[in-house]
Amino acid sequence: MAIVVMVCLGLLGFGLYLQHVVGLEPCPMCIVQRYALMLSAVGAVAGLMVTPTAIQRVVASYLFLITAAGAFVAARQSWLQWYPPEVLSCGRDFYGMIESFPLQRAIPMIFKGGGDCTAVDWTFLGGSIANWSFLFFCGLALLALRLIRAESR
């Protein structure tokens, strides 16, 4: 679980670096992926605090669901980057719901953005941020499955 916390916090930190130092504006799908990372880190911290095996299995299952959802969003963003639509629609409806939500002021500034989900603004070894995010989410999901299996023995 400690590895999951470190990976999630590292990825969140790198996202903040790209946003505030490099100047890349996060898109709505990037924001959803940040939430998935935050929820994964919180779940992993909860997993570190509990000792009964049954509860750890529940936490690992929660981690699997959250990381699988993050992988799905990253895969969808990768798809949009590879095959951009003629009309941009990468999550503005979701972003609009966030904007109209009554607790909008409670959402931290780091989770605001309006970048284009189809734009590839940064690459490393030929992969975009969405591609790398997908790989990390898949790795975390596999780790969560391994934890579920280990706790069920």
Q: Find the CATH number of the domain harbouring 138.
A: 1.20.1550.10
Q: Are 147 and 63 in contact (CB under 8 A)?
A: yes
The number of folded domains in the chain is 1
What is the domain extent for residue 102? Answer: 2-151
pLDDT (tens digit, 9 = 90+) per residue, 32-63? Answer: 888 899 999 998 888 888 877 777 888 888 89
Write phi, then psi, for 119 (nearest 5 degrees).
-75, 140
Looking at residue 88, its amino acid is L
- In tens digits, the chain (153 residues) has pLDDT values of 788 888 889 988 888 888 889 888 888 788 888 889 999 999 888 888 887 777 788 888 889 999 999 999 888 888 887 777 776 555 444 445 445 555 454 455 445 556 676 666 767 787 788 888 899 999 989 988 888 887 666
Count the neighbouring beta carbons within 10 Å of the beta carbon of residue 128: 19
Query: Which residues, other chains included, contact 91 with Cβ-Cβ below 8 Å and sequence gap of 6+?
Result: 27, 28, 29, 32, 117
* Whole-Å CA distances, 114 to 24, 41, 99, 149: 10, 24, 11, 40
